[in-house]
Amino acid sequence: MTPQTIDDLPTPALILDRAVLYRNLKRMSDRLREAGVALRPHLKTAKSVTIGRMAIEGHDGRITVSTLAEARYFAQGGFKDILYGVGIVPSKLAAVTELRRQGINLRIVTDNLAVARAIADAAKDGDTFSVFIEIDSGGGRAGLPYPELPGLLEIARVIHEAPNVELAGVMTHAGHSYHESTPDGIAAVAEQERQAIVGAAEKLRASGISCPIVSGGSTPTAMHSRDFTGITEMRPGVYVFNDLDQEFIGSCKPADLALSVLASVIGHYPHRNQLLIDAGALALSKDISAQEFQPKVGFGTIADAPLKDMAVVACSQEHGFVGSDDPIPYGNLPIGSRVRVWPNHACITAAAYDRYYVVDSDHDGGKAIVDTYDRINGW
Amino acid sequence: MTPQTIDDLPTPALILDRAVLYRNLKRMSDRLREAGVALRPHLKTAKSVTIGRMAIEGHDGRITVSTLAEARYFAQGGFKDILYGVGIVPSKLAAVTELRRQGINLRIVTDNLAVARAIADAAKDGDTFSVFIEIDSGGGRAGLPYPELPGLLEIARVIHEAPNVELAGVMTHAGHSYHESTPDGIAAVAEQERQAIVGAAEKLRASGISCPIVSGGSTPTAMHSRDFTGITEMRPGVYVFNDLDQEFIGSCKPADLALSVLASVIGHYPHRNQLLIDAGALALSKDISAQEFQPKVGFGTIADAPLKDMAVVACSQEHGFVGSDDPIPYGNLPIGSRVRVWPNHACITAAAYDRYYVVDSDHDGGKAIVDTYDRINGW
């Protein structure tokens, strides 16, 4: 039986509200178009060709991915300009070449001189590469830390001077924007992000090395940046769905949450004021990022709950423990009734599922399943 | 190119050491056989028919699963006596019936009177069910809390008296054994577990209701229990692989870790004494259970590391941040070199992968890929 409404779905299941998705996509698309900045959405969140196509509408089609499996999947889906945003290692160059020979401009990232040399080496037989140099704008993940930018010019020269290798530009991800929770705080991180990549690009240009693309990223900085001067593209990702973490840091409003996990109530435990649902650690993920600003969200909050603070307070593999400070009205949530859980971190939660069941809250209250979108997982 | 050794594998990848797996399986199998207790392994950890078949060798073939997808997969793999160990809801009874009509004794679990009535109702047309009543032996997850056992006799009577429905027995999972870290502490939980299910079975029998199966579970209690009197079967799960959490609570030794994640070093960051690997939140999971007793393990420790305390101290989606208190010897871990990460919680980490790459440390140092086993994920 093909499920007609979410009431027909086996639980747990991943539910995507298309009406909210559309609004989220349009908000970011409009904002960056008005800012004169190209949008290179990071499709590591959606991992869906259908959603990827919607995300690039009105833009030039460039995208970002986080795995080679995504690169192959989106290439097959017709995407031509793909940035693989995780530092490349020499053993992965053969897979990159395989896609590039098919006409896909799969671009790679490094911040390391030995890797730059390995890329130059791999290009000797005529294969081409397009390389970004990664800059650490303060997040302390990958990249050459700004303002020191140690080794920037040496790495750039190896890439610039290697036949068949193009220095595409510089890129950064201001992941520290996730630890701010005010527009001013995020805007300050966005300005750090801007200065780091624009500064790196200027340093290259001052040395006679061209740096066409200056690429920033992160949903919070894309939403709250007050100055894009010098930035040519942005790579936000989680904005397509949003999640509790984005809500609490102020990147979105509660009405902008597009993704939820549908679960069944499987047990009542009034002696400890809890109930169990069949969405646990695998269905929700054990990501607790949203607890940084709202400790009581646990592993996700209950949508349309009879109590304001109902949340998944603990998880085992297939059990979610739902609690509240107030007495749970068990009569409203009988065994077998369904709840939806807002995830802490949409990118991680979605990765447990191979498809989205799509509803549309603008048309029928979001009950009917209007579509399903597949997604790619793994590596 | 078919990978011949783990050096040929794309990273991240899930590596299973068959030599250690065999020893883990044999240890539990021998222990329970000697105790005169049936082994009903919980295959939610391995989710692999191949491993499931090894696990039941010398036993009668009964198994436990945590999802209906697993039930279907193991049924197709030839398993006939399957306990679906998560509280059933009425909407899932049709899927249960579908397998039972194929001759699979898929048994279900409840602790709820309304559900017991729904099962009795669903059996009216001639479909049969085999039902366990779940007991809470102190873990505070599902089950009727012992010693009160509220509603036990009413639920049992509904099941016992319904035509076509069999009361298979009582079951519990002593999840609180995971929060002990000494053999004595775990043995005390095991004794609580035993008393709860044996006590529930006696209460049923005293009321003239037969209770053939008395089912306990959890790897720690199966390993450290000092008295199985009255228990007829045990349902350990994670013992097949073990993990850092099991090591720290004392269920296994470091040499008993069978599962690891193979990752590539993708960046060097000497200014903060870190390196990055390409195994992050999705490849390792964000489970931090093992931090309860060893806070410095982060999201997993590095196997065969040049420094004793090297661990994945932070994760983003595809980046693992490796740190240490001592200066990292970058020369020993060049970009592109491979490390293996011991996971905190094998059940959750394995769920990101669709296969195990199998090595055998008894024969060639564990480098050659001697087999691959598939696994089922999702619901």
Q: What is the pLDDT of residues B204-219, one digit of tens each?
A: 999 999 999 999 999 9
| Residue ranges of B 141-200 with Cβ closer than 8 A to chain A | 141-142, 145, 148, 150, 175
| Residue ranges of B 212-271 with Cβ closer than 8 A to chain A | 264-269, 271
pLDDT digits (tens, 9 = 90+) for B253-308: 999 999 999 999 999 999 999 999 999 999 999 999 999 999 999 999 999 999 98
Q: Is residue B325 part of a domain?
A: yes
pLDDT digits (tens, 9 = 90+) for A179-223: 999 999 999 999 999 999 999 999 999 999 999 999 999 999 999
pLDDT digits (tens, 9 = 90+) for B93-122: 999 999 999 999 999 999 999 999 999 999
Q: Is residue A17 part of a domain?
A: no
Answer left, alpha or beta for residue A250, where phi above 0 means left and psi between -120 and 50 means alpha.
Answer: left
Q: What is the CATH number for A298?
A: 2.40.37.20
CB pair distance less than 8 Å for B281 and A348 = yes
Residue B11, classed as helix, strand or coil, is coil
CB pair distance less than 8 Å for B142 and A266 = yes
Q: B56: which 2 tokens? A: 């039941």
pLDDT digits (tens, 9 = 90+) for B20-62: 999 999 999 999 999 999 999 999 999 999 999 999 999 999 9
Residue A101 CB contacts under 8 Å (≥ 6 apart), including other chains: A127
CB pair distance less than 8 Å for A66 and B90 = no
Among the partner residues B67, B118, B316, nearest to A318 by beta-carbon distance: B67
Q: pLDDT-based confidence at A60, cuts 50/70/90?
A: very high
Read off the pLDDT of each residue in A155-166 and give the average, rounded to a whole number: 98
Rounded to the nearest 5°, which phi and psi values hold at A366? 80, 25
C-alpha A114/C-alpha A343 separation (Å) is 40
Determine the distance in angstroms separating the CA of A233 from the nearest CA of chain B, rounded to an integer: 21
| Same-domain check for residues B205 and B258 | no
Closest residue in A to B8 (Cα) is A91
| Same-domain check for residues A89 and A201 | yes
CB pair distance less than 8 Å for A317 and B287 = no
CB pair distance less than 8 Å for A287 and B286 = yes
pLDDT of residue B308: 87
Instruction: Check whether A79 has a pLDDT greater than 70.
Output: yes
| Same-domain check for residues A53 and A116 | yes
Orientation angle between helical segments A152-161 and A113-122, nearest 10 degrees: 0
Q: What is the CATH number for B50?
A: 3.20.20.10
Instruction: Check whether B354 has a pLDDT greater than 70.
Output: yes
Instruction: Check whether B239 has a pLDDT greater than 80.
Output: yes
Chain B contact for A9 (CB, 8 A cutoff) = no
Structural element, H or E, at residue B49: helix B49-55
Closest residue in B to A273 (Cα) is B140
Among the partner residues B68, B142, B272, nearest to A267 by beta-carbon distance: B142
CB pair distance less than 8 Å for A89 and B334 = no
In terms of C-beta density within 10 A (0-12 exposed, 13-18 middle, 19 or more buried), how is residue A177 classed? buried
Among the partner residues A271, A286, A377, nearest to B287 by beta-carbon distance: A286
Determine the distance in angstroms separating the CA of B127 from the nearest CA of chain A, rounded to an integer: 20
| Same-domain check for residues B77 and B193 | yes
pLDDT digits (tens, 9 = 90+) for A325-373: 999 999 999 999 999 999 999 999 999 999 999 999 998 888 999 999 9
Q: Is residue B94 part of a domain?
A: yes
| Same-domain check for residues B272 and B235 | no
| Same-domain check for residues B225 and B267 | no
A100 and A106 in contact (C-beta within 8 Å)? yes
Determine the distance in angstroms separating the CA of B126 from the nearest CA of chain A, rounded to an integer: 22
Among the partner residues B114, B321, B354, nearest to A334 by beta-carbon distance: B114
| Same-domain check for residues B227 and B170 | yes
Residues of chain B with C-beta less than 8 angstroms from the C-beta of A354: 378
Answer left, alpha or beta for residue A163, where phi above 0 means left and psi between -120 and 50 means alpha.
Answer: beta
C-alpha A303/C-alpha A254 separation (Å) is 10
Determine the distance in angstroms separating the CA of B365 from the nearest CA of chain A, rounded to an integer: 22
Closest residue in A to B337 (Cα) is A89
Number of domains chain B contains: 2
| Same-domain check for residues B70 and B150 | yes
DSSP states of B248-294 as a string?
HHTSS-GGG--EEEEEEEEEEEGGGTEEEES--HHHH-S--GGGGT-
Instruction: Check whether A1 has a pLDDT greater than 70.
Output: no
| Same-domain check for residues A91 and A231 | yes
Residues of chain B with C-beta less than 8 angstroms from the C-beta of A86: 266, 278, 318-319
| Model-wide pTM > 0.95 | yes
Q: Is residue B186 part of a domain?
A: yes
Residue B241, classed as helix, strand or coil, is coil
Residues of chain B with C-beta less than 8 angstroms from the C-beta of A347: 317
pLDDT of residue B1: 63
CB pair distance less than 8 Å for B11 and A379 = yes
Q: pLDDT-based confidence at B12, cuts 50/70/90?
A: very high
Domain boundary among B240, B262, B287: B240
Structural element, H or E, at residue B155: helix B152-161
C-alpha B351/C-alpha B376 separation (Å) is 8
Residue appearing with tokens 């998944």? A312
Proportion of chain B above pLDDT 90, given as a percent: 97
Q: pLDDT-based confidence at A3, cuts 50/70/90?
A: confident
Q: Is residue B20 part of a domain?
A: no
Domain boundary among B178, B205, B240: B240
Q: Is residue B29 part of a domain?
A: no
| Same-domain check for residues B222 and B269 | no
Kindly provide the b/e burial profile for residues A103-131, where b requires at least 16 CB atoms within 10 angstroms of the residue's own CB.
ebbbbbbbbbeebbbbbbebbeeebebbb
Residue B191 CB contacts under 8 Å (≥ 6 apart), including other chains: B225, B226, B227
Proportion of chain A above pLDDT 70, given as a percent: 100
Closest residue in A to B11 (Cα) is A379
CB pair distance less than 8 Å for A87 and B276 = yes
| Same-domain check for residues A266 and A201 | no
pLDDT of residue B2: 81
C-alpha A115/C-alpha A130 separation (Å) is 13
Domain boundary among A241, A272, A299: A241
CB pair distance less than 8 Å for B145 and A95 = no
Q: Is residue B27 part of a domain?
A: no
Mean pLDDT, chain B, rounded, equals 97
Q: Is residue A247 part of a domain?
A: no
CB pair distance less than 8 Å for B267 and A351 = no
Read off the pLDDT of each residue in B305-325 and give the average, rounded to a whole number: 96
Structural domain boundaries, residue B161: 36-240
| Same-domain check for residues B151 and B270 | no
Would strands B301-302 and B165-171 be described as parallel, antiparallel, or unpaired?
unpaired
